[in-house]
Chains A and B, each alone.
Chain A
Amino acid sequence: MKEPQIIVCAKQIPDPEAPFSNVTVNVEKKQVLVDAPDVISPYDENALEAAIRIKEELGGKITVLSMGRKVSDTVLRKTIAAGADALILLEDPLFEGLESNSVAYVLSCAIKKIVAYDLVLTGRQAGDWDSGQVGLILAEMLDIPCISMARSIKIHDGAVVVEKTVPVGYEVVEAGLPALVTVSNEVGELRYVARSKMLGLLRRPMPIPKWGLKDLGDNAERLKKVQLMELAPPADMGRACTIIEGSTDEQAARLAAVLKELR
């Protein structure tokens, strides 16, 4: 078959793995302040890894799309270092704080502009708000089939064969191309990008197209922002550690008693 053209949507977010003490919640301003470097949302990294594996097997081209009010190419060049071929940044002040439907709309405009594609991959959800909607809505807007929660993706005879994670095990689902697949972490971590490789890439000049709303149809009234009703910090649960002594049987019995009491 011909070499697949793959589009991966990658969101830039503050590191969700940031140490606890680097995260503060401002209840009045309804803001979560994270003092941490920006990274690519982990599920989107899984999606990129899945794309790179397909490319390793069948060849083809991987284009990474990332949108936001301000998108850093130093963060997103990691995708190129890992194995993507092209990077397109969708950047516009109007892209700040959009709700999922609007995000999917902007992405769909960009993908329609790219025209030729066989497979669109997104993370199953973003690592900041965890809504998990954009991929599904995007497939609807592109009018292509969608398979969610992939743990393995193979392209075979013009179709995509996906192992879809379900609460007990997985299902194997097949769809004709082009299709959209949302990728789960079971696919595996994005391969490591060595510092030397990253630095080499940052030094190399590279054309990275930036598309704003104007380039994508200038349809500002379609964009809606998230209305945040309330924001509460997680309750300070404190930490208490008790070591339960005794033989294994005694430990089990005592643990059960302690848990019963806590219920």
Chain B
Amino acid sequence: MTPQRAMFWKIEDVWLFYVIAFIALGLFTVGVAIHIFVWRKSAPHGKTSFSWPALKHSLMDIFLGLRVFKGDIPAGIAHFLIFWGFVILTIGTTLLVVDDHLYHFLLGRNHLVFEVSMEIGGLFLSAGIIWALVRRYIQRVPRLEHRLEDAIVPLWLLAAAFSGFLLEALRLAAQRPPWGNWSFIGWAIAGWIPQGVAESVYPDLWWGHALLCLGFIAIIPYTKLFHVIGAPAAYYLHHSEEKSAGASLAPMEPGDSLNPADVAVLDACMRCGRCVQACPSNGAGEPFSPRDFVQAARHSLWLEHSPAGDIRFLSKQRPIEDKAAWYCTTCAACLEVCPVYGATFEAIARKRASLVEEGKGVPDLMNQTLERLFNYDNPWVSSKRERGAWAKGLDIPVLKADGKESQLCYFAGCTTSFDARAQEIAKAFCGILKHTGVSFGIMADKEPCCGDIARVTGELGLFQEKMENCLELFDKYSIKDVVTSSPHCFHTFLNEYSQTPFRVRHYSSVLKELMAEGRLKPKNPVNSTVTYHDPCYLGRHNRNFEEPREVIGSIPGIKLVEMSHHGSESLCCGGGGGRMWQGTDLRGEARMSEIRIREARETGADILITTCPLCLVMLEDALKTVGLEGKMKVMDLNELVLQSIEQ
């Protein structure tokens, strides 16, 4: 007898099965169609095209599950097991249909391989789900939520897997085929079942299993299971989209349409909460959760565009206060860990832009800051005429509007120009440039604001004005080469301006280049242990983790130790996204800057080095408020380098 399996053994009214299957697939198709409808409505101007590299990249993301493994290996393994269990069983069941209706090929050895594969698939699926349930309900991993669908979806899937095994066991117990032991799990269970019982119970359980499986297909678009379609689509759209170096809070009008990748990403979110775990604001006990925010954005797209409202019936959208939008520092830690490449910024940017347009939900301090930015071209309570005051007595050339020769423009930026502590960055950097004989100049009191704060707070009209003003001035001064002290200005010029008709670098790149050219040679030993804080807009947004470290490493006598959060996992100082100017209006249990400075202290370093004026000011303040003054120092990279070259 050739090993094989008869379809619909002992099942009557097979037509009924097909009717139910048709309904289930119908519900599935309608659900998916609504999703696609909402996507198209939400991103009406989006274009998608075929791209082979994007497809390749997406397939890697899908089948290797690298994004899911990233930063959370236990979760990655659970997902891997469920994913492959699901894939094997889906392929297997499809083959069974082909075998029965089209071409009978699951015979002999094929059948045995098939049976073993299905056992492994079922085993993977069950093990993965049990692990996931343990993580969520017994281990209670903090980032995981406990909503209705969080229980229903895995239990449903587990019931389908278990009923499958049991069904197989009943069939094997009744039929006792000689090759039965290939189905090793079903066979083991079958040993416990009397033949008569097996035959009588089998049909009822068969229908139960069929309903569970078909029902499962039907609920995919209506639950978080939709990610099995949403995530691959989001991967492809994300990879095929032309992106600038950093994730971008693209300038847009409120109500402006999103691009297809952002919509797919928002819709693919299944509330895994990795973003919540990575979020420094949430970590400091502030009432902000990127997950809730993204979900709220998704929900509002659905309310706006779906003919049936939000169809995720099992997970009710919680209301979110408008104020929540102002907590985000735009540090991008969430995007780093999001399995579907996140769209927190798009959600935040849209919300902020609409609050600014409406006017009502803008916090008082932000309101004042934006007014000041408009009236005095900087977010500080400072006069534009004082902008070059830090350079007084330093003999630094001031660029002229009619300057024909293009030379290096050192763009100090607002905070470096006005904050007494941050001014040291400018003084030290200019000291280094003079030491190395680089020809450069500053714009002094003519220097404009790049507009970063307007952009990140959603004041896009004001950002537009600042950008136009800046571009016009740079053109008037024939500035073709810009070096900034702030990673924020650098990022804004490079990635957020509609055009960047000049070269722009952050000072750390210039230091690195000067060293590579041999013009800058640190010689005085700095016998200290230091640690380096990656500013979000230099590191995560612009992927420059190495240059500052190389500069630090080239200083004799220095020992660089890393904090537990460093590189792409760096923790925000709390000053980005306009938070620097928000004061204590927005607060949690701790300050982000204090959390960071304590982490720096734990490394045993004497000096915390950073490369951003906002980080410098925030961390130096935190140093005082946590009482570490005198025990540790916060320095800008320029100050350190200058120490090492000065006579």
Contacts and interface: CB of A to CB of B under 8 A. Distances in A.
A194 B383 contact: no
B507 to A, nearest CB: 27
Contact of B461 (A15, A189, A195): A195
Interface in B61-96: none
A134 B465 CA distance: 38
A192 B367 contact: yes
B461 A199 contact: yes
Contacts of A227: none
Contacts of A191: 358-360, 362, 367
A39 B460 CA distance: 22
B374 interface: yes
A82 B357 CA distance: 10
Given A15-B375, A19-B381, A194 B364 contact: no
Contacts of A35: 383
By DSSP majority rule, is chain B's interface helix, strand, loop, or mixed? helix
B376 A195 contact: no
Contact of A192 (B356, B465, B624, B629): B356
A197 interface: yes
Contacts of B461: 194-199
B375 A21 contact: no
A194 B357 contact: yes
Contact of A195 (B358, B366, B462): B462
B375 A192 contact: no
The number of chain B residues touching the other chain, given as a range, is: 20 to 34
Contacts of A37: 375
A36 B462 contact: no
Considering residues A192, A195, A196, which has the most beta carbons from chain B within 10 angstroms of its beta carbon? A192
Interface string A192-212: 111111110000000000000
Nearest to A248: B627
A261 interface: no
B519 to A, nearest CB: 38
Given A15-B375, A19-B381, A189-B364, A195 B357 contact: no
A21 B462 contact: no
A219 interface: no
B386 A192 contact: no
Given A17-B368, A19-B386, A189-B367, A195 B459 contact: yes
A196 B383 contact: no
Interface in B141-173: none
Contacts of B386: 19, 21
A188 interface: yes
B99 to A, nearest CB: 63
A195 B383 contact: no
B348 to A, nearest CB: 17
Contacts of A197: 357, 359, 461
Contact of A82 (B359, B371, B465, B624): B359
Nearest to A188: B364
A37 B464 CA distance: 21
Contact of B359 (A18, A36, A193): A193
B385 interface: yes
A242 interface: no
A241 to B, nearest CB: 10
B633 interface: no
Contacts of A196: 253, 357, 460-461, 464
A22 B461 CA distance: 26
9 contacts: A19-B376, A21-B386, A189-B367, A191-B358, A192-B366, A192-B367, A195-B374, A196-B253, A196-B464
Given A36-B376, A37-B375, A197-B461, 10 more contacts: A15-B375, A17-B371, A191-B359, A191-B367, A192-B366, A194-B461, A196-B357, A197-B359, A198-B461, A243-B624
